[in-house]
Each structure stands twice: as C-alpha cells, then as structure tokens.
Amino acid sequence: MYNLLKGKRGIIFGALDENSIAWKTAERVHEEGGTFVLTNAPASIRMGTIDKLALKTNAQIIPADATSVSDLEHLVDEAVQILGGKIDFVLHSIGMSVNVRKGNHYTNENYEFTEKGWNVSALSFHKVMQVLYKKEAMNEWGSIVALSYMAAQRVFPDYNDMADNKAYLESIARSFGYFFGKNKKVRVNTISQSPTATKAGHGVKGFDDFIAYSDKMSPLGNATALDCANYTVTLFSDLTKKVTLQNLYNDGGFSNMGVSQEILDHFKE
C-alpha cells in the first residue's frame, strides 16, 4: 500500500455487503491510511452486513436517510466530532429504482415510484453537498465522488428510470462542483463504472447477460468493484487535486467502443 490517504477523514455512503463498491472502497481507504464513518439508511443497515465492515476498518456507523436534510446534518456533525476534524473525502454510492424493482416498464412508470427513486439516487447527492457546503465541513482540496453509469448518456432500455437519475446526478456534480471548487477548493467528480455484480445491479432485467456483453465489448474487460475502489482512492488522494467537474469512465474502454471482434464473432456463429 502507498499511504495515499494517511491523515485524511471521510464519509462513505452505501456499503451494504461485500459485493458493493462502497464496501470495497472502505476497505481500500482503510488500507491507504484513511479514517471514516460509514452510513446508510436504517433499513439498508438492517438488510446488510455493515457491522462486519465497521469492525474490520475500525469505523463507526451513523444511520442516516440521505433524502433527509436533518439526518444529513446530524451525520455531518457526528462525523466531524468522531473523526476529530473536517472532512477530506465523501463517497456517494446510493441508487435505487422502485419501478425496476416492481417490473414497471419505462413507458409505464408509476410516478410516485419515479420521484422516490430520483430523490434517493440523485437529489440526495445535492442534499449531501448542500449540507457539507453550508456547514463548511470540508477541508480545502477535499474530494467528493458519486458513482454513475453510462446509461446517463446512452440508451440501455432495461436500465429504466435509473438512467434519468444518473443523468441528473452527473449534472448536480458539475453544477455544485463549480461552487465547491470556486469557493471552497473542493473537487467533485462522478465515476461511470462498468456494470458490476452488486445487489442493486442484479435488480436490472437481463443484468447477467449485459455483464457478459460488456466484458466482450471492452478491450480491457469489465472493471470490478475493487477496480472502482482503487480509482476512487486516487480521486480522494492529493494526486488528483486539479481534477473536478468530470464524469470519469472506469469501464475497460467500453464507452469508446462501437463494436468488438468478439461481438462480431458471436453473430457469425
């Protein structure tokens, strides 16, 4: 390890189980010398195994509904107190679609479900940053990262309203990132990750088939959850102090491909 995050403090949202990107990121941050608090919605904490991660990384868990400003205010206050100072890094790894869970087609959305998913998956990112901004809780040259997916730019029919949520998430990163950078010297970026075998990912129809397709399309193959964790660590580190307002692809090259020989060979069979 390189001690890239020695002395840095943070908040990691969204660790659920050992397959989640937030979980892998927490492990890597710990290995690189960073300290942090873990947070998730109370229901997600009950569903997952975050206690195991907290024990392994010597982190405290602070339950918080990321759609609730009051919960976020309490989270930030507690994190600063527990960690002994202002925050250097934040990972927003939250996303859900009730329409996907219920099997509602994109052309037949339940709009109450749509609004709930948008609030959790995208607007919560604005709320997190607004609380951090107003409380002046971030250190200068801090780093905020949210996880996205290429469906924000291109059509993936079964990704449903999550594609809209990710597009909004990326816009928030740019818009709020301007003010955070200009006024607080804090950088804000999103990572557009390969389809990854997490609990949330498996909720998307045909997900296993799409993982296989993406792997064949990508010159380097799909990026794993650990690959994403490693990339996130670099964005939290001082090595990327001038990288902000970016949507950064961590997808083995998929985003720049038109077609691959492996896919063409498949259709020849």
Q: Tokens in use for 108?
A: 């037949």
Catalytic residue among 133, 149, 168, 178: 149
Give the residue numbers of the binding site for NAD(+).
Answer: 14, 20-21, 94, 166
User: DSSP of 63-92, one letter per residue?
Assistant: ---TT-HHHHHHHHHHHHHHHTS-EEEEEE
Dist. CA 13–CA 64, nearest whole Å: 9
Is 2 a residue of the active site? Answer: no
Per-residue CA distances from 245 to 15, 19, 148, 174, 182 (Å): 24, 28, 13, 5, 11
Catalytic residue among 106, 159, 213, 249: 159
3-state secondary structure 11-35: EEECCCCCCCHHHHHHHHHHHCCCE
Is 149 a residue of the active site? Answer: yes
Sheet holding 138-148, edge to edge: 60-61, 35-39, 9-13, 87-92, 138-148, 187-193, 247-250
Helix locations, the chain, DSSP H: 21-31, 42-47, 50-57, 69-83, 98-102, 111-118, 124-134, 162-184, 207-217, 225-236, 261-268
Bridge partners, 189 (sequence order) = 145
Give the residue numbers of the binding site.
Answer: 14, 20-21, 94, 166
Dist. CA 208–CA 214, nearest whole Å: 10
CA 268, distance to chain mean position in Å, is 38
Residues designated as active site: 149, 159
